[in-house]
Amino acid sequence: AQTVTQSQPEMSVQEAETVTLSCTYDTSESDYYLFWYKQPPSRQMILVIRQEAYKQQNATENRFSVNFQKAAKSFSLKISDSQLGDAAMYFCAYRSLVQGAQKLVFGQGTRLTINP
Amino acid sequence: DVKVTQSSRYLVKRTGEKVFLECVQDMDHENMFWYRQDPGLGLRLIYFSYDVKMKEKGDIPEGYSVSREKKERFSLILESASTNQTSMYLCASSAGGAAGDTEAFFGQGTRLTVV
């Protein structure tokens, strides 16, 4: 079974600075998807960024980018130019591509605080 | 605008009651999921369904059952609610198929309190 681990329960960063959230995972599959989701106080989960395992190039979405290290099974999220609206819980997630087993497996979450 | 709708945002039930949490999606998605969210534990999968009338146990199915009679609706049932089932419950859906859209969409959650 796949597992996802986020070892940082809480992180804080000054507004406009850069912060990196860590995520490691365990799987025996060779192809899969990885995601970072954001959950603000409104509780609505929002997709931040996704990475397909067969793509070596790291995904980027505006101020958000990932460092995907497939051999090390590491998938960190970098937020540049942090903004107050980035404050939220961030969850790393893994998704299998096996038909009938495409559940999302989540990490424990990291609470990100932005200091003005 | 894609949408996953959970029937209640807040719910208070008594110990021993049978509780139904309803989830409806309008995206014709094959996969639907029920998660439980607790501080420090992240989201844990209770049950998921990849087709009508099909269901698979997740990591913590004990004390729960599910029903999927129609593609758009996935219900979570607490047969006899207990205080340790007090939690946030999140429903999600996603398209099936390895080559298709892989994003999961979430409802706004139901905060259930069992007293």
Q: How confident is the model at residue A100 (pLDDT cuts 50, 70, 90)?
A: low
Q: Which of A58, A54, A60, A62 is nearest to A86 (CA)?
A: A62
Encoded tokens for A111 = 């609470």
Q: Is the pLDDT of residue B101 over 60?
A: no
- Give the span between the Cα atoms of B58 and A101, in whole angstroms: 10
Q: Is the pLDDT of residue B5 over 90?
A: yes
- Give the span between the Cα atoms of B104 and A1, in whole angstroms: 20
- Chain A residues whose beta carbon lies within 8 Å of the beta carbon of residue B45: 103-105
Identity of the residue numbered A72 = A
What's the gap between Cα A61 and its chain centre? 12
Residue A89 touches chain B, beta carbons under 8 Å: no
Q: CA Rg, chain A, in Å? A: 14
Q: Chain A interface, mutation test: which of B10, B34, B37, B87, most A Cβ atoms within 10 Å? A: B37
φ, ψ of residue B85 in degrees (nearest 5) = -100, 5
pLDDT in tens, B19-77: 999 999 999 998 999 999 999 899 999 999 988 989 999 999 999 999 999 999 999 99
Q: How confident is the model at residue A23 (pLDDT cuts 50, 70, 90)?
A: very high
Helices (H), chain B: none
Residue B27 touches chain A, beta carbons under 8 Å: no
User: In chain A, what is the straight-line distance between the N-terminal and C-terminal CA atoms, in Å?
Assistant: 41
Per the prediction, chain A carries an average pLDDT of: 93
pLDDT in tens, A53-96: 988 899 999 999 999 999 999 999 999 999 999 999 999 999 98
Q: Is the pLDDT of residue B4 over 80?
A: yes
Q: Which of A88, A87, A46, A92 is nearest to A68 (CA)?
A: A92
Q: How confident is the model at residue A42 (pLDDT cuts 50, 70, 90)?
A: confident
Give the three-state DSSP class for A85.
helix
Q: HSE (CB half, 13 Å, CA atoms) of A11?
A: 25
Determine the pLDDT at residue B97: 66
Looking only at the bridges linking them, the beta strands covering B104-106 and B87-94 are antiparallel
Residue B100 touches chain A, beta carbons under 8 Å: no
